[in-house]
Structure 1
Amino acid sequence: MKITKTKQSRINDVDFSNLVFGTQFSDHMLIAEYSNGSWSEPEIKPYGPLSFTPAMHTLHYGQAIFEGQKAYYMEDGKIGIFRPEANAKRLNHSARRMFMPELPEDLFMEGIQALVDLDRQWVPKAENHSLYLRPFMFGSSEFVAARPSEKYIFCIICSPVGPYYSGDVKVKVEETFTRSASGGVGSTKCAGNYGGAFFATDQARKEGYTQVIWTDHANHELVEESGTMNVAFIIDDTFITPPLSDRILAGITRDSILTLLRDRGIVKVEERPVKVEEVVNAAKEGRLQEAFGMGTAAVISPITSIGFRGTDYAIATPQDGYAMRIKKELTDLRSGAAEDPYGWMLKF
């Protein structure tokens, strides 16, 4: 692939001790274009603006998808990208549902490794820090007719980041607004899923919460996700998380955690429908031991309280609890402090 290096790195302009998530970007980006039924050879070039007209298809019809993943500085001095092949597959799942062209997995894998290798000095070395990778694809045709785009752009940008959440995470059970519905695009990482969630999240924040717990579209009885993350509860020493469906994103962090829990016998695991009523009753009875979100940005984010119909239920966040044990297992694997029996880390 063609690589054009920047003439002047911006890395010295970045305060790596004070990183605001997703606001600063590394020196280079990767671009590939789709037209006439095929993808161009990807190109890596200096990070900068893209040129398009007001008639660009995605601005009007929302054919836009993305991924979120991380590269880590490892104990042996190498860089490791966590499960990139899983992100490649999920990107193509989103592409199929959004009627966009699939991206060859080798283009994704070779491109992301080459980009991170070029910008490897941007991978933070501090604990709980990483280089956040944002692959995305959007329709780039120039027309405003309501039909699929004929051209597409795939791009990857990188951002050095620290912890996603700081302080207590308080969530509210959402019973008015809906993130996704059966038959929709809830299992994809399409841009509209996130844009459509901002209003409900803002309403919750005005009430003193950090995020919402999304419930099912039919009766708002079933727990589905927490904000932009999958969600899990420890009830009676059992790890319980909602099963995947076309309304719930197949989180790679979620899948990794379930694999670790089952293989290492840390706790009993149940993937099953979870009723809001069950969680609230467990909280009232003191059986809700922990609750947390699972996702790329935060990895594991302990929830300190759940609000339901005007009442807040406090939840313990023990330093020696299941959430912290699971997070340490993943952190050690990603840093190289523990063995990687699954081959999850692409190291270079």
Structure 2
Amino acid sequence: MRKFTFFTCFLACLFPVAGFAQYTGREAQAIARLERELKTDVANDALDGGISALIMKNDKVIWAKAFGYANRDTKKLADTGTIYRIASITKTFTATLMMMLVEDKVISLDDPAEKYVPEVKNIIGYNEDTKFTLRQLASHTSGLRRWSEMFTANIGPVGEWQKKLLLSLAQTQFESKPGKQWLYCDVGYCILGLALERAAGQPYMQMVKNRIIDPLHMTHTFFAPDDASLPNLAQGLYNPNGVVDTRIPLSQNSGMGYGVPNGGLFSTPTDLAKLVSTFITKTGLLSKESIRQMKLTPKGGKDYGLGLALDPQNNVNYFGHNGLIPGYSSQYLIDDDSKYAVILMRNYNVGFTNVIVTAYKLLDDI
């Protein structure tokens, strides 16, 4: 029988846990394969980094485990309460907040962004034919290039992201006309975050905390680490070329310029599971209709709704989001049919495990 550890007891208090030992045969085989893969890959990567993983069914965690180290200098082991940067998974939070404001009738999805952020008129090539909407920003169909060309756009404290965004607009430009094609766009989500802030008359980060993080009791999710959270923050190991750099991830803890609504959050697998559960069985944050809207690909889009990546081409009802930032890789993925979900977080970028492929394989297997 599987040992019922203190950590399992802790999880049970934090989140509903469906008997860890009571797996179906298919679940047991899939989980055993995942454990072997993650354990072997982390060891073979030979970075002394770590990966934390979690599997849910319906709104319950059925398995959670970590492999390797959260900090290779102190040899602190990773666990499923280890804090990681979740990067672009933040976009799901921003899109969720957007739908909340739609439900409140504060905004409409087809409102032009210039209604709330008139400074978008400073974007290179902006005119009557290139006006874009909030829906287009959230679905990456605004036509904007991924980033501003301003060299320092992604540098600066988290509390000044709005200022950095506005400075960057004059060096932001279009790749195509709005609504014509899907172009993944980080600066677009920053514009969206500022639009939501101005429409509601409340700071974006405070709204995310008050309306999503706090109601879901996500006690280890935030935009900037404080002294209490630093001991549990995974050390970021940026290794795009095989050489590990810890300085860049460390320097970004205090902020990444305008990079807040598009990728600024820190979280843990157990915390993120609480948000994921709202897209599976719980509807406490959003109505079923709002969630349905988030899973629709709009005109000009491709395999992406509103803050949710979709996979209709492979005849599976999977959706979720990944995140990649110097020193961290993450993925959550939900099977809308079976109601299984998997969350993976790692404190390095390049390794034998591809967090996206691994998440898909787990849902296929289970």
**Larger relative contact order (C-alpha < 8 A, sep ≥ 6)?**
2
TM-score (norm 2): 0.24
TM-score (norm 1): 0.25
Quick check: which one's strand share is greater? 1
Quick check: which one's helix share is greater? 2
